[in-house]
């Protein structure tokens, strides 16, 4: 499942995100969602979240 719809992204879910500095390379970072930062219902690049580690990025895949 991709992370473009806010309803699909849940706090506590394990996700793969792309950080701002990794957008060109496409490097993904795995983590657990702590906060959902995107207010709109969907976003074509992925919902922006903060992981429990403090890393912020856009969800590319929900595990």
Can you say whether the dihedral through the CA atoms of 56, 44, 62, 17 is positive or negative?
negative
Structural domain range at position 16 = 6-62
Residue 31: predicted pLDDT: 98
In a domain, 33, yes or no: yes
Residue 1: per-residue pLDDT = 85
Q: What is the pLDDT of residue 35?
A: 98
pTM: predicted TM-score of the whole model, two decimal places:
0.93
In the numeric block, the tokens 């473009």 are attached to: 4
Whether 19 is in a domain gets the answer yes
Per the domain annotation, does 41 fall within a domain?
yes
Q: Which CATH number is 41's domain given?
A: 2.30.30
The structural domain count of the chain equals 1
Mind listing the pLDDT tens digit for each residue in 3-50?
999 999 999 999 999 999 999 999 999 999 999 999 999 999 999 999
Considering the domain boundaries, does residue 1 fall inside one? no
Give domain status of residue 56, yes or no. yes
Tell me how far apart the alpha carbons of residues 44 and 12 are, in angstroms, rounded to a whole number: 22
């Amino acid at each position: 499942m991709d992370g473009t719809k806010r309803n699909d992204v849940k706090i506590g879910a394990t996700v793969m995100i792309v950080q701002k500095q990794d957008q060109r390379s496409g490097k993904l970072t795995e983590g657990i969602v702590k906060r959902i930062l995107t207010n709109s219902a969907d976003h074509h690049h992925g919902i922006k979240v903060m992981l429990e580690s403090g890393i912020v990025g856009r969800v590319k895949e929900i595990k």
